[in-house]
């Protein structure tokens, strides 16, 4: 067991993976020739392991960063790509990978791969083209839940039946279907209550498992002035809350500096919802630390890390500018550098990348104090992707790739 936190970084353009200790940045391992899917992200598994998808080789990788003297890659399983979303059941045995756009202008793949990590068995089946989100429900016999768009639906499949499908990537029919608005984007699950959540323009739709079916429950409204909505959803197991970032303002992406952003939190046990202003610009993915939730905000007037601490305070930490950062008059995601943010519910550090510079900035959430920047040997194009790894004996975490 490694006593210090480990930070895993992917430069998906360069095809490099870096493993470093926090906060000193000592190299602890790495991979070359691995182009990980930034969209599918990293998925924490029990035992301090992490799953990800090599989009060029078409492999699901299970990494074991804490294993002493072992190779970083514990196993590699062939899966369909381009990987869109990645999820596991609470035991970490059953994993699913959906496919999406990749480098294409429209969805074209209808393949979903289901994997039993205990045996290495992997089966590909056909659903329908799109950008399906995914969750894998337990604790009973696992259920695969796909969130489809246009038309929207939550489609339920029995996981073991999919694993028994014949060769040839057969088309499969859901065992159950719940209607959903067609603009879904963002998925989460609460393993304690076997519930799934899907972010839509109307709010967060939710459903609970009942045997091999799902039972719809009342949606959770965003509670924000129209047309603000969340484009990202994350389950916080420590605080038992759902988190998102509500984006409002002009629809034109060229006017992204005028977008409004609010942190949205819904406590599952109390039913209370809170919103906190984050400031204008681009705010997307968030990260969960032990005593705070972190958001990276990009804006032409200056970037910052925003920390919402458990004691109710908001702290703003300025970040150094990026060469090639999004500019006024352009979009915030085409040919520009971005930032990735990473944290762990077991640690007080937050890491945020400086895309194009090969730098990672670390902040202690207890004091909002930056440490010396970490440097890696590749630029971290587009911000790269990052995960602050849990310890092998840590509590269960988010079951959807981030």
CA-based nearest residue to 113, from 80, 86, 137: 80
Q: Which residue has the higher pLDDT, 354 or 139?
A: 354
Kindly list the domain boundaries of the chain, sorted by start residue. 6-388
Reported as a pLDDT band with limits 50, 70 and 90, residue 139 is confident
For residue 59, what are the CA distances in angstroms to 51, 75, 99, 139, 300? 10, 10, 13, 26, 38
Global model pTM greater than 0.75: yes
Q: Give the pLDDT of residue 397.
A: 79
Q: Which two tokens stand for residue 279?
A: 């400031």
Instruction: Give the long-range contacts of residues 312-317, CB within 8 A, separation 24 or more.
Output: 314/276, 315/365, 315/368, 317/363, 317/368, 317/370
Q: Does pLDDT of 394 surpass 80? A: no
Q: Give the pLDDT of residue 2.
A: 42
Matching residue, tokens 């007037």: 301
Residue 364 neighbours by CB under 8 Å, 6+ apart: 348, 349, 370, 371
| Three-class secondary structure assignment of 321-335 | CCCCCCCCCCCCCCC
Residues 350 and 365: beta-carbon distance below 8 Å: yes
Q: Does pLDDT of 346 surpass 50? A: yes
Count of all residues that appear for the chain in the document: 402
Cα–Cα distance, 80 to 58 (Å, whole number) = 6
The radius of gyration computed from the CA coordinates of the chain, to the nearest angstrom, equals 20
Query: What average pLDDT is seen over the chain?
Result: 95
> pLDDT for 316-335, tens place per residue?
999 999 999 999 999 998 89
For residue 361, what are the CA distances in angstroms to 42, 62, 303, 365? 19, 26, 12, 12
CA-based nearest residue to 9, from 122, 29, 125: 29
Q: Give the pLDDT of residue 303.
A: 98
Name the phi and psi angles at 375, rounded to 5: -125, 135
Name the phi and psi angles at 399, rounded to 5: -105, 15
Name the phi and psi angles at 254, rounded to 5: -70, -15
Q: Does pLDDT of 54 surpass 90? A: yes
Residue 252 neighbours by CB under 8 Å, 6+ apart: none
Which run of H or of E encompasses 162?
A: helix 159-163
Q: Does pLDDT of 165 surpass 70? A: yes
> pLDDT for 219-237, tens place per residue?
999 998 878 999 999 999 9
Task: Compute the average pLDDT of residues 72-101.
Answer: 96
Residues 82 and 99: beta-carbon distance below 8 Å: yes
> pLDDT for 255-312, tens place per residue?
999 999 999 999 999 999 999 999 999 998 999 999 999 999 999 999 999 999 999 9
Percent of the chain with pLDDT over 90: 90
Cα–Cα distance, 358 to 347 (Å, whole number) = 23
Q: Does pLDDT of 1 surpass 60? A: no
**Does 2.130.10.10 match the CATH number of domain 6-388?**
yes
In terms of phi and psi (left: phi > 0; alpha: psi -120 to 50; beta: otherwise), the region of 23 is alpha
For residue 284, what are the CA distances in angstroms to 88, 95, 101, 180? 23, 25, 19, 23
CA-based nearest residue to 10, from 44, 34, 29: 34
Which run of H or of E encompasses 315?
A: strand 314-319
């Amino acid at each position: 067991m490694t006593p210090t936190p480990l930070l895993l970084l992917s430069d998906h353009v360069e095809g490099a993976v870096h493993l470093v200790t926090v906060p000193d940045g000592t190299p602890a391992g790495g991979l070359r020739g691995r182009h990980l899917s930034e969209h599918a992200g990293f998925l924490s598994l029990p035992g301090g392991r992490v799953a990800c998808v090599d989009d060029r080789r078409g492999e699901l990788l299970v990494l074991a960063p804490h294993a002493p003297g072992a190779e970083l890659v514990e196993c590699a399983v062939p899966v369909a790509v381009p990987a869109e979303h990645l999820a596991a059941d609470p035991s970490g045995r059953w994993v699913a990978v959906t496919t999406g756009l990749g480098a294409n202008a429209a969805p074209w793949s209808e393949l979903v791969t289901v994997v039993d990590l205990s045996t290495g068995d992997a089966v590909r089946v056909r659903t329908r083209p799109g950008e399906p989100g995914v969750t894998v429900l337990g604790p009973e016999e696992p259920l695969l839940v796909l969130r489809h768009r246009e038309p929207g639906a939550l489609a339920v499949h029995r996981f073991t039946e999919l694993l028994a499908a014949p060769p040839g990537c057969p088309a499969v029919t859901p065992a159950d279907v719940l209607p959903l608005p067609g603009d879904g984007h963002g998925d989460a699950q609460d393993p304690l209550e076997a519930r799934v959540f899907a972010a839509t323009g109307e709010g967060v739709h939710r459903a609970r498992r009942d045997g091999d079916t799902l039972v719809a429950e009342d949606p959770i409204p965003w509670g924000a002035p129209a047309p603000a909505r969340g484009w990202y959803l994350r389950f916080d197991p420590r605080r038992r809350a759902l988190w998102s970032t509500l984006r409002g303002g002009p629809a034109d992406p060229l006017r992204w500096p005028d977008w409004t952003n609010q942190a949205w939190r819904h406590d599952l046990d109390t039913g209370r919802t809170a919103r906190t202003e984050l400031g204008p610009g681009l705010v997307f993915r968030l990260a969960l630390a032990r005593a705070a939730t972190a958001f990276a905000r990009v804006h032409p007037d200056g970037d910052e890390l925003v920390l919402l601490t458990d004691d109710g305070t908001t702290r703003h930490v300025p970040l150094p500018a990026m060469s090639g950062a999004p500019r006024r008059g352009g979009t915030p995601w085409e040919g520009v550098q971005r930032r990735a943010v990473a944290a762990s519910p077991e640690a007080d550090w937050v890491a945020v990348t400086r895309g194009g510079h090969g730098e990672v900035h670390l902040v202690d959430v207890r004091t909002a104090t930056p440490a010396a920047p970490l440097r890696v040997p590749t630029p971290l194009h587009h911000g790269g992707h990052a995960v602050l790894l849990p310890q092998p004996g840590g509590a269960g975490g988010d079951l959807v790739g981030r």
